[in-house]
Amino acid sequence: MTLSHYCIQNLVQFITGDEYPPYRKGPELVKLFNSFGSRDIYDELGLPDIKKANGQRPSRKQYVETRLLELSGKHEVRLLLEHIINAANDKSTIASKINELIQPEKFGILENNGIYYIQGGIIDKRQPVINEAHFQDIQNQILAALDLARVSIRVLMAWFTNQTLLDKLIEKYNSGIDVQIAIYDDGVNKKHGVDIALLPSKLIKRGQRGGLMHDKFCVIDNQMVITGSYNWTNNAEFRNDENITIERDPDQASRFSEEYRRLTT
């Protein structure tokens, strides 16, 4: 998560707590940044030396700005800001004000069950991978991707008979993730399909052009898309030649989210 120097300068007040409690003293700021990768010591002279002129120790604001600049571009800055928001005395106000700062930087804040998360960029800590193609062991690839969900899951599936994948969706739903699912309302799903009524769900009687609802995709956190030939069925897993791609691309995920909303409203 890369932030401009302007944005970082304006975020300092939220971390020091000078304007928005809780107020953090020097030792608390050192402990905070150490929990996100720094290796600082607060000693008898105060905050750690950050090479200020004349050998002076930094003020609390100078220390926070320096460490934030060092974190910019790393996944830890996202985790730090999420911590600051969720530890605030007035979470909704802090979230709103920080959201105003980071939106021009192409990030935003989501709330789910009283917990605030930052969306935008790449959530995955690994190097961004736009497309991963899979032709074998597809069920396990989907399960691993679903385990990454922190905020939301949307599933639009023509045919869904795989109980293992449904169980994972229920597990994520019970942990507080916003899960919604829609499937084709036909004989296959009626006779062999899983019980999607266990989740917020919808049956789609036909495609909007009069034919089948033949889509097969899943959107995770509006960041990642799973799509391909693979229906979430036992035949697809154990009998057919199938494929999926896992796309880590927020713009692509937004397009699939829009399509989910179009087909289910």
pLDDT tens figures, 69-117: 999 999 899 999 999 999 999 999 999 999 999 999 889 898 888 899 9
CB proximity list for 238: less than 8 A, separation 6 or greater: none
Verify that 137 and 258 share a domain, yes or no.
yes
Verify that 170 and 83 share a domain, yes or no.
no
Residue with tokens 């899951």: 153
> CA-CA distance, 219 to 247, in Å (whole number)?
10
**Structural domain harbouring 26:** 5-119
In a domain, 88, yes or no: yes
pLDDT tens figures, 145-160: 999 999 999 999 999 9
Amino acid 58: pLDDT: 92
In a domain, 106, yes or no: yes
> How many structural domains is the chain composed of?
2
Strand partners, 132: 246
> CA-CA distance, 23 to 186, in Å (whole number)?
58
* 154: phi then psi, degrees, rounded to nearest 5: -125, 125
Among candidate residues 119, 142, 164, the one where a domain is terminated: 119
Amino acid 50: pLDDT: 79
pLDDT tens figures, 52-69: 656 688 999 999 999 999
Verify that 61 and 169 share a domain, yes or no.
no
> Strands 108-112 and 224-228: what pairing?
unpaired
Verify that 136 and 260 share a domain, yes or no.
yes
Percent of the chain with pLDDT over 70: 93
Amino acid 187: pLDDT: 87
pLDDT tens figures, 243-259: 999 998 888 999 999 99
Verify that 90 and 16 share a domain, yes or no.
yes
In a domain, 124, yes or no: no
pTM: 0.54
CATH number at residue 189: 3.30.870.10
Question: What is the helix (H) or strand (E) element at residue 9, kind and residue range?
Answer: helix 5-16
Residue with tokens 């120790």: 57
> CA-CA distance, 73 to 63, in Å (whole number)?
18
* 119: phi then psi, degrees, rounded to nearest 5: -110, 165
Verify that 16 and 98 share a domain, yes or no.
yes
